[in-house]
Amino acid sequence: MAEVNEAQVKEMAAEAIKGFFAGEPLKMIKGISDEELNAVYSLAYTYYMTGKYDEALKLFKFLVLFDHMSQKYWTGLGSVYQVQKRWDDAIAAYAQAMVLDVSRPKPIYYAALCYFAKGEKLHAASSIVSFDLVCKGNDPETVKFRAKVDALRAAIGPEAFEELKRIDKEEDAKEKVS
């Protein structure tokens, strides 16, 4: 292996920092291929499906570190946190997944479930309203989650949705005054 001098190390570090601040995933900076990350994902998913949640968690954390732009990895991380009943961590991971592609129903639905599990019906209802706003049409993924969302809506109860409407009306009235 060729020796690397101090100037080369500084240059490589500067390039890595420049890429990081430009929003490049760490996988690009470190030269890790999508195939390599997919292999890690496959192992993480296998751990998750076989109940080895601590191992799955480590791998999903690795995946989101090296590719922070993958909704699939953030959703996987959220799923592990959710099964561990780490509701706030799961919601944060699902929120990141939603930012990456707001039209995908899976992270929205699972965030709503986490809020419901925490007893935060108003936040759960807000997530359901978000689902209704952005997940339209008959694409297979939306159809798959529609019945689940409707069941969760019923479990939340109409009071939370009425409260959301009341809050929206109050906020609209405040905006008109200012």
- pLDDT of amino acid 26: 54
The answer on pLDDT for 86 being more than 70 is: yes
**Helix, strand, or coil here: 155?**
helix
Q: Which residue has the tokens 């509701």?
A: 87
* Average pLDDT estimate for 131-158: 92
Contacts 24+ apart (CB under 8 A), 66-70: 66/25, 66/26, 66/27, 66/30, 66/32, 66/37, 67/25, 67/26, 67/27, 67/37, 68/25, 68/26, 68/96, 69/25, 69/100, 70/37, 70/100
Q: What is the pLDDT of residue 137?
A: 81
DSSP structural state of residue 67: -
Compute and round to an integer the Cα radius of gyration of the chain: 21
Higher-pLDDT residue of 14, 69 = 69
- The pLDDT of 13-33, averaged and rounded, is 57
